[in-house]
């Protein structure tokens, strides 16, 4: 997909810039893994916290949708990245997830001085300073904002792809492993956008 970035003018080089980065779709059977990178100015923190910004998994779909324009209006910079199902199959999910995160970071107008990575695994291919944060999406607003933007962007893509691949229930489970998804795979077989490396046991009737 094309790069996505929005926000106010980039910060001055003398200012320390901190980007939060998070991924979504790591455990799915279908489609790409998505990531977002977000840099927040100090004045954005109070309104975003007051709006209830937190880990996207703790928010309803309606609330996430309401938060997206608020997040994009208050960020200094934000960007999306993804890695395809083919890349996941070829290189493994960890590497593909790292690529999605790094692609999001590379699309920021100004590289951050520090990257906060949700989880325990560092980005091996990111040359700059970084810090992993367990449950970072509930501790740092940068990471929480990234989780919401990545989740909404991926869900929107899967909803569009569901129209091109009917019968799998993608619009209901967003590509995750459910009984409905498994039954559809057994009946219809995988599409070119399914992660074949994830389906070795699923496709055993």
Which tens digit of pLDDT belongs to each residue from 108-122?
999 999 999 999 999
Do the bridges between strand 129-133 and strand 33-39 make them parallel or antiparallel, or are there none, so unpaired? unpaired
Give the mean pLDDT of 7-15.
50
Q: At 4, is the pLDDT very low, low, confident or very high (cuts 50, 70, 90)?
A: very low
pLDDT at 138: 86
Give the mean pLDDT of 59-71.
95
**C-alpha Rg value of the chain to the nearest Å:** 17
Give the mean pLDDT of 95-99.
97
The 3-state DSSP class for residue 19 equals strand
**How large a percentage of the chain has pLDDT more than 70?**
92
pLDDT at 205: 59
Closest to 161 in 3D by CA, of 200, 184, 194: 194
* pTM, to two decimals: 0.89
- B/e letters for 109-130, b = 16+ CB within 10 Å, e = fewer, are ebebeebbbbbeeebeebeeeb
| Whole-angstrom distance, CA of residue 154 vs CA of residue 146 | 12
Residue 34 is inside which H or E element, if any? strand 33-39
Question: What is the sign, positive or negative, of the torsion defined by CA atoms of 11, 13, 15, 20?
Answer: positive
The larger pLDDT score, comparing residue 55 to residue 180, is at 180
SS (HEC) of 41-69:
CHHHHHHHHHCCCCCHHHCCHHHHHHHHH
Give the mean pLDDT of 197-204.
90
DSSP letter, residue 5? B
Which tens digit of pLDDT belongs to each residue from 130-189?
999 998 888 899 999 999 999 999 999 999 999 999 999 999 999 999 999 999 999 999
Give the bridge partners for 22, in sequence order: 36
For the cut 80, the answer to whether the pLDDT of residue 7 exceeds it is no
DSSP letter, residue 198? G
The 3-state DSSP class for residue 7 equals coil
Phi/psi zone of residue 85: left (φ > 0), alpha (ψ -120 to 50 degrees), beta?
alpha
Give the mean pLDDT of 187-202.
96
DSSP letter, residue 100? H
Q: At 204, is the pLDDT very low, low, confident or very high (cuts 50, 70, 90)?
A: confident
| Whole-angstrom distance, CA of residue 191 vs CA of residue 180 | 15
pLDDT at 37: 98
Domains of the chain and CATH, by start: 18-198 (3.30.420.10)
């Amino acid at each position: 997909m094309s790069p996505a970035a929005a926000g106010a003018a980039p910060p001055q080089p003398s200012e320390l810039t901190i980007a939060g980065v998070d991924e979504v779709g790591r455990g799915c059977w279908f489609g790409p893994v998505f990531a977002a990178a977000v840099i927040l100015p100090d004045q954005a923190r109070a309104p975003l916290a007051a709006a209830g910004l937190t880990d996207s998994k703790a928010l309803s779909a309606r609330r996430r949708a309401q938060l997206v324009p608020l997040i994009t209006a208050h960020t200094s910079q934000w960007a999306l990245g993804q890695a395809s199902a083919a890349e996941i199959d070829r290189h493994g999910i960890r590497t593909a997830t790292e690529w999605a995160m790094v692609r999001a970071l590379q699309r920021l107008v100004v590289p951050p001085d520090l990257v906060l990575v949700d989880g325990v695994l560092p980005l091996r291919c990111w040359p700059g300073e970084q810090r992993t944060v367990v449950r970072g999406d509930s501790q740092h607003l940068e990471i929480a904002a990234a989780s919401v933007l990545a989740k909404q962007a991926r869900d929107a893509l899967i909803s569009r792809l569901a129209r091109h691949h009917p019968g799998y229930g993608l619009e209901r489970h967003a590509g995750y492993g459910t009984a409905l998804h498994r039954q559809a795979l057994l009946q219809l077989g995988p599409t070119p956008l399914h992660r074949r490396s994830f389906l070795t046991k699923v496709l055993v009737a």
